[in-house]
Amino acid sequence: MDKHVFVINGSGGVGKDTLCEAARQFWRVQNISSITPVCEVARTAGWDGEKTPAARRFLSQLKEVCTQFNDLPFRYCMEQYHAFLQNDQQILFVHIREPEQIERFRQAVGEQCRTVLVRRPAMECARGPLGNRSDDNVAAYVYDGIFVNDGSLEELPEKVHRFLNDLIKQRLKAQHGSAHAGNTQEDTEQSQDREKKGNCIHE
């Protein structure tokens, strides 16, 4: 069974979870976030679950502390990824905000991972910055695809379907090209080896 991993990012309110829910109409989807274990710590500290600007700033700073202390967010994502490999889900969405953590997860997962930035330009422009590093630095990464969430809810599922299918095709094409390049290199090395052996025999 083909399995696909997408790191999904975007500032608060742009529709990341809405995209993931739309994808459920076409694939079996597992949707996780690197902030989940941090939220559990935050609730112990008195957070009520509401994502106000102050709460977003608190969660962002707490995530940095948890990362520095015992790498909790990354360990959680990798645990969920390994569980995904064993279950019957087809797509794993992993919400990660920080560019350096996106790249770290991508390197750990390998070629099957693609990165997506969700944008709602009009809303983001009208709202302005949210005042925390995690939300305000989402554009500081080069993503495989940018999904502009500016249409109607009725149009969204098909738009998501086309967008993700294009990314999946790109990944498969890249993997095929990489495999072909590897085979070409192997053939060249074998040819050079035969030439060397031939030279040794002639000598």
Distance between CA 5 and CA 111 in Å, rounded? 9
Gyration radius (Cα) of the chain, Å: 21
The predicted-structure confidence for 160-189, as pLDDT tens digits, reads as follows: 999 999 999 988 888 777 655 555 555 545
- State the virtual CA torsion across 76, 77, 82, 83 in degrees, nearest 10: 70
The predicted-structure confidence for 82-126, as pLDDT tens digits, reads as follows: 999 999 999 999 999 999 999 999 999 998 899 999 999 989 988
Burial of 22 (0-12, 13-18, 19+ CB in 10 A): buried
Q: CA-CA distances (angstroms) from residue 68 to 64, 71, 72?
A: 6, 6, 9
What do you get for the CA distance between the two ends of the chain, in Å? 52
59-68, 131-140, 186-195: lowest mean pLDDT where? Answer: 186-195
| Tally of domains within the chain | 1
Residue 147: give the domain boundaries: 4-202
Task: Determine the pLDDT at residue 201.
Answer: 28
Q: What is the mean pLDDT of residues 143-163?
A: 95
Percent of the chain exceeding pLDDT 70 equals 87
Whether 66 shows a pLDDT value over 50: the answer reads yes
Q: Which of 189, 148, 153, 144 is nearest to 171 (CA)?
A: 144
Where residue 126 sits, what CATH number does that domain have?
3.40.50.300
The predicted-structure confidence for 1-57, as pLDDT tens digits, reads as follows: 789 999 999 999 999 999 999 999 999 999 999 999 999 999 999 999 999 999 999
Percent of the chain exceeding pLDDT 90 equals 71
Task: Determine the pLDDT at residue 100.
Answer: 95
